[in-house]
């Protein structure tokens, strides 16, 4: 009874409830709750195989039998809705007999190869046989074996994807993998074939199971039917220790568990650490297999020093002495402002903050930036782009939003975790999803309407939305109409190349929606016109009052981008942060601040002579490779710290080995502003050191110790994080006058450069598994375009822009439209950023076939 | 006089009696062994140095499941699994630290693949601690080998657990 | 024109009778033709319902008539129609379950082949009663000929204005889609049928929600058997009181029984519900006695998924209630007769092979259980039985019975349970001696 009262408190008011009795205990649950969930609420465990909390019930394994008074048959509790006055028995003799029978049936054709099976030790079937089964089998026939297609494998194993091995004999047909693939991820590369007792789970004919969420299928498999190749036959689960960590590749801060062995100093796999507020227990493959960057043998082993044009290994002491000497030389030669600091937004708070102090206090420079991958960053402080990209946003609020707009974002590639949330909102809560992009994307598969605007017309589209809302009388425009162009929605629609009706439909949906989530992505952040677009977005937000009934945000892209913003790693941080920092440090450099862009320009002009690049690779990722390279080459002194040898370390005078995120305790701030901790799983490999130790060592060498203890640094960080609030949007409309889009006859095709769904940034190509999914760059294009260019899948295409050319294989895709191509930037073997020009808004290329 | 007589009796009568005992043992079978040349027969359940069995075709029985290591009370077993080209699981590293081992035989009992057995060998002294860490190559029985004690053992185990042949 | 599957019917007797109605014109080669059908009084009920009745009235009429589903479960049709949530604004669908695949049953096939308009008219009336504008006929894929005939009938119906837009100038639209099944027994189960119709794998869905609430494309859907629908026009034409007067008190109307097995005259016969089973087998109009005048061994009264009856139990009425009292069911009305030379183990082996092959594989007890049963029973039949096997089979049956999503699991084990109960000595003989007690009979008709 006490439980029932307790439960009642947690149920929101106005929600209809039912009261039932489970094993003699009464409980009150919201109407529509299943008996299984009601029992779990009471702490009564009902065993299951096919039930998964994030999937719709299927009721196929029949393990979750319960006995209900007045019902003659056993009922499956996972699909049975709790009714008022129900009397449920979960442990009666009949239930026990039923479970025992199910275990016996399942074990009938299940091979007893637990010694070789990797699931052994964490297998649902083992556990439940132990708990509910009998120790002997009455089945005295040969077990059925699936042998088709498994010639050459002793245990009938079949590789169905780059990283997945299927053993159909072990499969107990719970269909969780197929359902998750279909319901949660929207992928159809795995299916159930045949029927009856010879039914098998198999990849779709002619396909590989290589979708960006495929690792989850292995994790939810209750037996060892699906196994990862990275974990396969490496270690027994009971010999590993777990460390809770977070994903360093996505801005969501997905919670993970690292399975490691202290003896071998190795991480063996990553699994999810379900956190319903963030990830629902699903991991994208880049998160799951990305741990391999930490354990790769290619890691930098010692510091490197350039001697006579050659980089040679050195000790830390030597390296630090050289750093000190060279930095002093530059200081003496030119004055203080000629040093720049570029840092990766994937590093933890302590590293970022101490780096900030090193640059600003010790070196007295204001040139610090974490955004190495964007072109033409705005110089103005406290601009509307910074404001729009640091709105408060809650991932779990996507769930009950009824209108979701994904604008300028290829979600699967940029924010896989949010994509799954949107799917969930669509599947379980019938949310209306609108996908607005310059090209067709995979994530639009759940969209009620997919709108494709012409490349480079983002702000016109947003203006069009404002106009459509005003024209339909859905919002009071005030003086907005005069401030934006074009003047009518129809005109805007024509410029964007979308249907005016669709524009109206979206405006109406956003105006009338109960709760609206508006996500803008990298296509806004990366655009040269990001200020203009964010202004248009701010107008729309204000016009429709979106902040009051939902959330609008330009989502940050990297694990700690949000944190870097909050800690003031911008050349001109918002005033609040600047004041707080000045107060903490007692000083603020007078020098004129420079963004990454500005630094590179000044390097080229030889006005910036020294640079410290921490964990980042501007040569590879800055959207103008030649420009970045030439600028960095002109430096007197370049210090780079990274995990691997990269293009940028190749130019460096001193290279320091950086520890990966799994090798130290670090805190990260995800896109919601949630501070999360990644624990140390391993010792730093070789001679590498965590970022904050490197920064501290440099500062100490210079003679200006930054912090007495790490606590001191942490305290400063927490004060900063607490003090910085979301910037309020100004109470006015912005002028948004779209610029004319330049076109070029010679280079007709728009090029988009971004992350491959299986990669993130410049490090993940070193992860073996991710390399197996995708190991080289490709050019993704529609079949129509390929036909026009006389290209076939796998052909080599020469892609040329005004500044560069590369040759890449062709990949025909169904999710990209005609005049657009996409090339991933994650591979050092393909210098795709060499095609880009930093001053252009849209990168345009021409493509021709390479004839051998 | 009396004492002299008594001493004579002792010498003539009792001394040979004592010597008789001595000489009697000259003809008895000795109870000690000429150890390195001769050896005491073992009890049938003697647990000596471990060995890893093979299948008849010479492939290893051990699949490196880790149960012996899990069962080991002295934590003497260490292993790292690997995969061969047929997708079979086998041990890449299999080590038993004989200094730690208490020869309880739990590993033999835990083994689901009938791969590890405690043999008869007890002479494995070496002069370094490292030498007592036996690697897989040292533990595996040579192939082929003549004796078939292994088959008998398996038959016995199967009989105990009543494993039936399938229809 | 029309193809005649050489099945004996009692059309002549029905034509004379005032009470029997389904088979009246079934022997007429032109009946599949719409003109002949209309000349024989067809589409009158459709016109009457649409022009002079309200949907509620039609539903009441069918409910009062006491028509029960002829597919197997025997759920009252009118009540089923009433389950559609009236407040729902979603479109509604009617699906005619013409996936007749129960072994021994071939009644719907005769209607579809020889009198397709009777079914279509019934569907039209039913659609009107539930307010549906799109109805589906899900025909078993193996019935290629039926599909042709029904397709032609649908075309004729459209041409003459019985379907399509604005029927009889009432503004009522009704469209028909004929869908060929994928060849699975399980698709005769309504939720699996809906899955199959949607293009998914034929696997039954978990209930609730029931199809009447969330069926085809998550919209309210009614699934009815061919014979039930074909009976509807007669109820509309002659009134529910007339229909109620047929048959017994609780099992109203007449029903087609497919008689097969060791009888002299197998065929489809329409009789009133409650007709005596013994008479049905032995009467010269119907079965005409056992093949070779041998002794009767057993009867399956309602399709292969119903329990066996022993000879002493067959003096019973062919209706829903009476058969239940002797431990069997009416099912789909397929009476299968076995004479004394039939080996029961062999018979069951054949049956379980069928069910194992047709199990969809969704839920564990049916998927694994039928496979196990098949192997055990096959082993017994082939002389590899072991002592205790019969008890093991019984226990496995018990573990399947009532534990599955759809009734296929129950259907598979019910004949086995009754066969063991009735002829246990024969099973035991098989195990002990490795051969049949009776002369093995493979001339199964």
In a domain, B34, yes or no: no
In a domain, B77, yes or no: yes
Helix, coil or strand: residue A743: coil
Helices vs. strands in chain C: H and E counts, helices first = 18, 10
Q: How far apart are CA A483 and CA A504, in angstroms?
A: 20
Q: For residue C386, which residues of chain B lie inside 8 Å, CB to CB?
A: 167
In a domain, B4, yes or no: no
Burial A214-223 (b: 16+ CB within 10 A, else e): bbbbbbbbbb
User: With left for phi above 0 and alpha for psi between -120 and 50, is residue A545 left, alpha or beta?
Assistant: left
Q: For residue C402, which residues of chain A lie inside 8 Å, CB to CB?
A: 72-74
State the pairing for strand pair A449-452/A310-313: unpaired
Q: How far apart are CA A393 and CA A551, in angstroms?
A: 6
If one counts the domains in chain B, the total is: 1
- Fold classification of A2-106 is Ubiquitin-like (UB roll) (3.10.20)
Residues near A836 by beta carbon (within 8 Å), at least 6 away in sequence? A375, A623, A624, A625, A751, A753, A801, A803, A843
Contact indicator for A535, A734 with CB cutoff of 8 Å: yes
Q: For residue B69, which residues of chain A lie inside 8 Å, CB to CB?
A: 236, 239
Chains touching C by CB (3 or more pairs below 8 Å)? A, B
CATH architecture assigned to A749-849 = Beta Barrel (2.40)
Choose, out of C361, C375, C378, the residue to mutate when testing the contact with A (most A CBs < 10 Å). Answer: C361
Question: Is the CATH number 3.30.70.20 carried by domain A321-383+561-723?
Answer: no
Looking at residue A137, its pLDDT comes to 84
Question: What's B135's domain CATH number?
Answer: 3.30.70.3270
Please give the average per-residue pLDDT across C345-361, as a whole number.
Answer: 93
Helix, coil or strand: residue A57: coil
Q: Which long-range contacts (CB under 8 A, 24 or more apart) does C372-379 make?
A: C372/A105, C372/A108, C372/A139, C372/A141, C372/C396, C373/C397, C373/C412, C373/C413, C373/C416, C374/C349, C375/A141, C377/C345, C377/C348, C377/C349, C377/C352, C377/C416, C378/C349, C378/C353, C379/A141, C379/B167
Please give the average per-residue pLDDT across B38-53, as a whole number.
Answer: 86
Nearest to A670 by CA among A278, A273, A257: A278
Structure tokens at C134: 């799109």
Q: What is the pTM of this model?
A: 0.90
User: pLDDT tens for residues C50-60?
Assistant: 999 999 999 99
What's the sign of the alpha-carbon dihedral A530, A535, A537, A541?
positive
Chains touching A by CB (3 or more pairs below 8 Å)? B, C
Contact indicator for C314, C283 with CB cutoff of 8 Å: no
pLDDT of residue C1 exceeding 50: no
Tell me how far CA of residue A770 lies from CA of A650, A753, A762, C33, in angstroms: 24, 19, 12, 66
Residues near B45 by beta carbon (within 8 Å), at least 6 away in sequence? none
Nearest to A405 by CA among A451, A373, A367: A451
Nearest to A141 among C363, C375, C405 (CB): C375
Sorted by where each begins, the domain ranges of chain A are: 2-106, 321-383+561-723, 391-554, 749-849
Q: How far apart are CA A671 and CA A355, in angstroms?
A: 21
Q: For residue C372, which residues of chain A lie inside 8 Å, CB to CB?
A: 105, 108, 139, 141
Q: How many CA atoms lie within 13 A of C238 on its CB side?
A: 18
Looking at residue C442, its pLDDT comes to 53
Structure tokens at A796: 């080599």
Nearest to C222 by CA among C208, C210, C231: C210
Please give the average per-residue pLDDT across B150-164, as a whole number.
Answer: 64
∠ at Cα C44 (C41, C49), nearest 5°? 160
Q: CATH says A391-554 is which class? A: alpha beta
Show the domain range for B115: 50-157
Looking at residue C445, its pLDDT comes to 36
- To which H or E segment does residue A202 belong? strand A200-203
Q: What is the DSSP letter of A337?
A: G
Looking at residue A477, its pLDDT comes to 79
- What is the average pLDDT score of chain C? 91
ipTM over 0.90: yes
Q: How far apart are CA A83 and CA A16, in angstroms?
A: 11
Contact indicator for C269, C10 with CB cutoff of 8 Å: yes
Q: How confident is the model at residue C437 (pLDDT cuts 50, 70, 90)?
A: confident
Q: Which residue is closest to C386 within chain B, CA to CA?
A: B167
Please give the average per-residue pLDDT across C417-423, as a whole number.
Answer: 94
In a domain, B162, yes or no: no
In a domain, B86, yes or no: yes
Looking at residue B97, its pLDDT comes to 95
User: pLDDT tens for residues B75-93?
Assistant: 999 999 998 888 888 999 9
In a domain, B163, yes or no: no
Q: What is the DSSP letter of A309?
A: T
Structure tokens at A591: 């020098």
Residues near A600 by beta carbon (within 8 Å), at least 6 away in sequence? A618, A622, A627, A628, A631, A632
Using CB atoms within 10 A of its CB, is residue C338 exposed (0-12), middle (13-18) or buried (19+)?
Answer: buried
Residue with the two structure tokens 């229909």: C243
Does residue A141 belong to the interface with chain C, where contact is any CB pair within 8 Å?
yes
Nearest to A73 among C356, C367, C402 (CB): C402
In chain B, which residues touch C (CB < 8 A)?
167
Beta bridge partners of A67: A89
User: pLDDT tens for residues C68-123?
Assistant: 998 888 899 999 999 999 888 899 999 999 998 888 898 999 999 889 999 999 99
Contact indicator for A624, A632 with CB cutoff of 8 Å: no
State the pairing for strand pair C172-180/C134-139: parallel
- Peptide bond before A486: cis, by omega within 30 degrees of 0? yes
Q: For residue A239, which residues of chain B lie inside 8 Å, CB to CB?
A: 66, 69
Please give the average per-residue pLDDT across C400-409, as a whole number.
Answer: 92
Nearest to C372 among A76, A97, A108 (CB): A108
Looking at residue C5, its pLDDT comes to 63
Q: For residue A142, which residues of chain B lie inside 8 Å, CB to CB?
A: 166-167
User: With left for phi above 0 and alpha for psi between -120 and 50, is residue C325 left, alpha or beta?
Assistant: alpha
In chain B, which residues touch A (CB < 8 A)?
63-67, 69-70, 80-83, 85-89, 112-113, 164, 166-167
User: With left for phi above 0 and alpha for psi between -120 and 50, is residue C239 left, alpha or beta?
Assistant: left
Looking at residue A632, its pLDDT comes to 93
Structure tokens at A424: 């969930």
Q: What is the DSSP letter of A64?
A: T
In a domain, B136, yes or no: yes
Query: B65, A116: Cβ pair inside 8 Å?
Result: yes
Write out residues in chain A with pLDDT < 50, as ranges. 1-6
Task: Tell me the nearest-neighbour CA distance from B163 into chain C, angstroms.
Answer: 16
Looking at residue A838, its pLDDT comes to 87
In a domain, B147, yes or no: yes
């Amino acid at each position: 009874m006490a439980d029932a009262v307790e439960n009642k408190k947690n149920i929101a008011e106005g929600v209809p409830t039912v009261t039932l009795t489970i094993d003699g205990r009464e409980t009150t649950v919201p109407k529509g709750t299943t008996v299984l969930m009601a029992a779990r609420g009471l702490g009564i465990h009902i065993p299951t195989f096919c039930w998964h909390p994030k999937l719709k019930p299927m009721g196929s394994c029949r393990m979750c039998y319960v006995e209900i008074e007045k019902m003659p048959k056993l009922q499956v509790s996972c699909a049975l809705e709790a009714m008022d006055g129900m009397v449920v028995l979960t442990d009666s003799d009949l239930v026990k007999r039923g479970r025992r029978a199910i275990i016996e049936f399942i074990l009938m054709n299940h091979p007893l190869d637990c010694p070789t099976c990797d699931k052994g030790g964490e297998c649902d079937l083992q556990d439940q046989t132990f708990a509910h089964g009998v120790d002997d089998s009455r089945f005295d026939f040969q077990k059925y074996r699936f042998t088709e297609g498994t010639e050459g494998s002793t245990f009938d194993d079949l590789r169905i994807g780059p990283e997945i091995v299927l053993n159909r004999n072990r499969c107990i047909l719970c269909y969780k993998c197929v359902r998750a693939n279909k319901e949660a991820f929207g992928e159809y590369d795995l299916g159930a074939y045949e029927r009856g007792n010879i039914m098998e789970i198999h990849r779709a004919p002619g396909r590989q199971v290589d979708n960006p969420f495929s690792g989850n299928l292995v994790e939810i498999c209750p037996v060892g039917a699906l196994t990862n190749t990275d974990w396969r036959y490496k270690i027994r689960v009971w010999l590993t220790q777990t460390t809770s960590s977070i994903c360093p590749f996505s801005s969501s801060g997905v919670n993970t568990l690292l399975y490691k062995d202290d003896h071998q100093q190795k991480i063996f796999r990553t699994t999810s650490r379900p956190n319903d507020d963030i990830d629902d227990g699903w991991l994208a493959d880049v998160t799951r297999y990305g741990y391999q960057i930490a354990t790769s043998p290619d890691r930098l082993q010692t510091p490197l020093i350039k001697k006579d044009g050659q980089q040679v290994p050195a000790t830390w002491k030597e390296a630090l002495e050289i750093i000190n000497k060279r930095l002093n030389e530059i200081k003496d030669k030119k004055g203080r402002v000629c040093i720049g600091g570029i840092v990766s937004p994937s590093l933890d708070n302590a590293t970022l903050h101490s780096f900030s102090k090193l640059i600003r206090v010790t070196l007295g420079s204001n040139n610090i930036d974490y955004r190495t991958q964007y072109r033409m960053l705005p110089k103005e402080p406290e601009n509307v782009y910074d404001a729009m990209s640091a709105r408060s946003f809650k991932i779990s609020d996507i769930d009950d939003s009824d209108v979701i707009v994904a604008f300028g974002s290829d979600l699967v590639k940029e924010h896989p975790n949010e994509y799954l949330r949107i799917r969930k909102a669509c599947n379980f809560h019938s949310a209306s999803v609108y996908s607005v992009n310059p090209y067709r994307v995979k994530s639009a598969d759940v969209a009620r309407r997919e709108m494709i605007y012409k490349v480079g017309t983002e702000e016109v589209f947003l203006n069009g939305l404002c106009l459509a809302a005003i024209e339909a009388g859905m919002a009071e425009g005030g003086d907005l109409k005069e401030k934006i162009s074009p003047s009518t929605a129809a005109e805007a629609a024509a410029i964007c190349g979308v249907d005016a009706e669709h524009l109206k439909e979206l405006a109406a949906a956003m105006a009338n929606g109960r709760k609206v989530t508006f996500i803008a992505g990298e296509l806004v952040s990366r655009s040269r016109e990001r200020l203009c677009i964010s202004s248009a977005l701010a107008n729309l937000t204000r016009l429709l009052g979106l902040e009051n009934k939902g959330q609008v945000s330009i989502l940050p892209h990297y694990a700690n981008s949000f944190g870097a913003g909050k800690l003031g790693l911008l050349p001109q941080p918002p005033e609040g942060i600047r004041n707080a920092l000045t107060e903490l440090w007692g000083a603020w450099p007078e020098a004129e601040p420079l963004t990454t862009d500005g630094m590179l320009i000044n390097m080229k002009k030889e006005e910036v002579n020294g640079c410290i690049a921490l964990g980042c690779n501007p040569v590879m990722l800055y959207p103008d490779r030649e420009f970045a390279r030439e600028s960095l080459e002109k430096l007197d002194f370049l210090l780079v710290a990274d995990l691997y040898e990269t293009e940028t370390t190749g130019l460096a005078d001193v290279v320091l080995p950086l520890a990966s995120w799994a090798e130290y305790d670090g805190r990260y701030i995800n896109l919601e502003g949630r501070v999360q901790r990644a624990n140390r799983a391993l010792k730093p490999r070789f001679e590498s050191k965590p970022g904050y130790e490197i920064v501290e060592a440099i500062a100490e060498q210079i003679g200006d110790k930054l912090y007495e203890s790490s606590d001191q640094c942490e305290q400063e960080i927490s004060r900063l994080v607490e003090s910085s609030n979301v910037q309020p949007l100004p109470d006015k409309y912005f002028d948004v006058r779209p610029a004319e889009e330049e076109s070029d006859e010679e280079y007709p095709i728009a090029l988009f450069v971004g992350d491959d769904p299986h990669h993130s940034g410049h490090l993940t190509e070193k992860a073996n598994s991710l390399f197996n999914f995708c190991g080289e760059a490709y050019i993704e294009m529609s079949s129509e375009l390929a036909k026009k260019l006389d290209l076939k899948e796998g052909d080599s295409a020469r892609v040329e822009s005004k500044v560069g050319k590369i040759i890449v294989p062709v990949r025909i895709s169904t999710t990209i439209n005609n005049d657009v191509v996409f090339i991933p930037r994650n591979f050092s073997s393909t210098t795709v950023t060499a095609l880009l020009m930093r001053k252009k808004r849209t990168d345009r290329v021409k493509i021709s076939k390479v004839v051998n | 006089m009396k004492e002299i007589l008594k001493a004579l009796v002792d010498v003539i009568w009792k001394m040979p009696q004592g010597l008789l005992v001595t000489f009697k043992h000259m003809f008895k079978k000795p109870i000690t062994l000429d150890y390195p040349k001769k050896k005491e027969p073992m009890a049938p359940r003697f647990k000596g140095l471990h060995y890893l069995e093979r299948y008849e075709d010479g492939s290893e029985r051990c699949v490196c499941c880790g149960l012996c290591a899990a069962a080991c009370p002295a934590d003497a077993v260490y292993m790292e699994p690997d995969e061969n080209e047929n997708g079979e699981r086998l041990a890449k590293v299999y080590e038993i630290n004989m200094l730690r081992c208490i020869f309880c035989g739990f590993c033999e009992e835990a083994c689901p693949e009938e791969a590890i057995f405690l043999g008869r060998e007890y002479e494995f002294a070496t002069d370094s601690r490292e030498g007592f860490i036996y690697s897989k190559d040292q533990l595996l029985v040579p192939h082929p080998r003549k004796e078939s004690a292994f088959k008998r053992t398996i038959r016995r185990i199967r009989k105990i657990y009543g494993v039936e042949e399938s229809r | 024109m029309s193809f005649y599957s050489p099945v004996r019917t009692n059309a002549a007797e029905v034509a004379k009778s005032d009470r029997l109605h389904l088979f009246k014109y079934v022997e007429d080669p032109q009946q599949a033709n719409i003109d002949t059908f209309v000349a024989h009084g067809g589409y009158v009920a459709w016109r009457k319902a649409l022009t002079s009745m309200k949907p509620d009235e039609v539903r009441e009429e069918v409910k009062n008539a006491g028509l029960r589903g002829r597919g197997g479960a025997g759920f009252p049709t009118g009540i089923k129609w009433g389950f559609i949530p009236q407040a729902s604004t979603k479109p509604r669908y009617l699906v005619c379950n013409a996936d007749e695949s129960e072994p021994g049953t071939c009644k719907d096939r005769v209607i579809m082949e020889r009198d397709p308009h009777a079914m279509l008219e019934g569907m039209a009336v039913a659609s009107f009663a539930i307010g549906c504008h799109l109805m589906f006929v899900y025909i078993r894929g193996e019935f290629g000929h039926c599909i042709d005939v029904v397709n032609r009938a649908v075309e004729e119906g459209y041409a003459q204005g019985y379907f399509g837009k604005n029927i009889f100038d009432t503004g009522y639209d009704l469209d028909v889609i004929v869908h060929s099944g994928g060849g699975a027994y399980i698709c005769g189960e309504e939720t699996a049928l809906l899955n199959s119709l949607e293009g998914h794998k034929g696997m039954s869905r978990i209930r609730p929600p029931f199809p009447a609430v969330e069926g085809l494309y998550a919209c309210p859907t009614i699934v009815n058997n061919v014979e039930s629908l074909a009976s509807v026009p007669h109820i509309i034409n002659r009134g529910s009181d007339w229909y109620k007067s047929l048959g017994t008190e609780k099992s109203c109307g007449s029903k087609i029984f497919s008689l097969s097995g060791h009888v002299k005259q197998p065929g489809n016969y329409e009789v009133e519900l409650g007709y005596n089973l013994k008479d049905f087998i032995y009467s010269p109009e119907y079965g005409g006695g056992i093949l070779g005048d041998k002794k009767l061994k057993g009867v399956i009264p309602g399709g292969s998924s119903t329990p066996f009856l022993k000879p002493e139990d067959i003096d019973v009425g062919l209706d829903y209630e009476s058969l239940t009292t002797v431990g069997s069911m009416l099912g789909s009305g397929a009476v299968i007769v076995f004479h004394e030379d039939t080996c029961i183990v062999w018979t069951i082996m054949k049956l379980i092979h069928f069910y194992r092959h047709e199990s969809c594989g969704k839920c564990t007890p049916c998927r694994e259980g039928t496979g196990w049963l098949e192997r055990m029973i096959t082993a017994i039949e082939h002389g590899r039985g072991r002592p205790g096997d019969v008890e093991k089979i019984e226990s496995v049956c018990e573990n399947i019975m009532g534990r599955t999503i759809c009734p296929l699991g129950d259907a598979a084990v019910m004949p086995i349970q009754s066969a063991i109960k009735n002829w246990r000595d024969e099973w035991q003989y098989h195990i002990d001696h490795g051969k049949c007690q009776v002369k093995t009979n493979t001339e199964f008709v």
